[in-house]
Amino acid sequence: MGLFDKLKGEFVDIIEWTDSSNDTMVWRFPRYQNEIKMGAKLTVRESQVAVFVNEGKMADEYKPGMYELQTQNMPIMTTLRGWKFGFNSPFKAEVYFVNTKQFTNQKWGTKNPIMLRDAEFGPIRIRAFGSYAIRIINASLFLKEIAGTDQHFTTEEVTEQLRNMVITRFTDAIAESKIPVLDMASNYDEMSKLVGEKINPEFKEIGIEITKLLIENISLPPDVEAALDKRSSMGIIGNLNAFTQYQAANSMEKAAENGNSMMGAGLGMGMGMGMGNQMGNMMNQNQNINNQNNNNTPPPPPPATQYFVAVNGAQTGPYTEQVMAQMIQQGSLKKESMIWKNGMAAWAAADQVAEIAKLFTAVPPPLPPPM
């Protein structure tokens, strides 16, 4: 290599940056000890700003476009250097390319639960997380306040500070909004906009603006969520008495399916009559309530005795005495069948309970064989 080629290599005549990353915010052109030649080509692409720094001081700033560096388009550098009558020799300066595109999908979230006072639940703790997007709107201010002389500045170096600012303003916004916890999910858009308006003035102080802030989820502690699930389940069940009757009916139906066909038929009929009696009792209770204000109305008759029958290890019933008689006639209730009623200390065979034992005597004997 000749002396001329060596000297030529010390001069920079093309200045540009092609970014292949997704997180680089500032990149310093690697000039090292080389000097920039007057008349060099400067290419600033869309979503970029080039900033010249002369001896530690901010100089000229270039928007997207192609420039041939001359004293005419370097007014601040010309003033700092004292190039009053033009200058054509190489010079030294640092060139920083600032990325002005949007940096999306920046995550934020509460490290610890936020204490709030809710109108319905009282003091409560919540967690929240989401994402936001930012971009640099003042390249010189961002270099001065944040990036400094870092030759390769990425979003990772500033996201922690920005995340803390987002969480602080989010907490303020939630507390001031007075939105009940159960209604927050329907107000994510409103709260996101409110937090964005609160935080943008602080971001602009360092040359950044927040273009979008999203709240993805607000959650309660696990034990509180479990309690809410139980409360929701009770609301879905509705009338607890009706739900209990429904479960009892399903149990009787399954017990009938486990027995023989005759027993199934008897239990099915008993189930229908038992439910009918229950509905009748409910109607009688309503009628009694309506008649309480009438002194001439006689008191209601005592409730019928209810019996339970053990079938295949499962409790079925309750059945009235009339239903028990029908079950005896159909053969689904035998003398050795175990039954129980209120007041009995333990289960007993059907023929050991006086009221039921007499029903067996009313059953006709088996028919004689045909002649």
**Cα–Cα distance measured from residue 316 to residue 313, given in angstroms and rounded to the nearest whole number:** 10
Mean pLDDT of the chain: 80
**Cα–Cα distance measured from residue 284 to residue 278, given in angstroms and rounded to the nearest whole number:** 10
Tally Cβ neighbours within 10 Å of residue 15: 21
User: What is the pLDDT averaged over residues 66-74?
Assistant: 91
Say which DSSP state 22 is in: S
Query: Which pLDDT does position 44 carry in this prediction?
Result: 96
Query: Which pLDDT does position 281 carry in this prediction?
Result: 60
pLDDT, tens digit (0-9, with 9 covering 90-100), for 30-46 = 876 678 888 999 999 99
pLDDT, tens digit (0-9, with 9 covering 90-100), for 100-122 = 999 999 999 988 888 888 887 78
User: What is the pLDDT averaged over residues 299-323?
Assistant: 82
| Chain centroid, CA 250 distance in Å | 36
Q: Is the pLDDT of residue 256 over 90?
A: no
Query: Which pLDDT does position 364 carry in this prediction?
Result: 65
Apex CA 275: angle with CA 272 and CA 277, to 5°?
110
User: What is the pLDDT averaged over residues 148-177?
Assistant: 87
User: What is the pLDDT averaged over residues 69-82?
Assistant: 89
**Cα–Cα distance measured from residue 52 to residue 60, given in angstroms and rounded to the nearest whole number:** 5
Residue with tokens 């961002």: 142
List domains and CATH numbers for the chain: 3-99 (no CATH), 103-226 (3.30.479.30), 239-282+305-361 (no CATH)
Q: pTM of the full predicted structure?
A: 0.58
Q: Is the pLDDT of residue 195 over 90?
A: no
Query: Which pLDDT does position 27 carry in this prediction?
Result: 94
Residues in the chain: 371
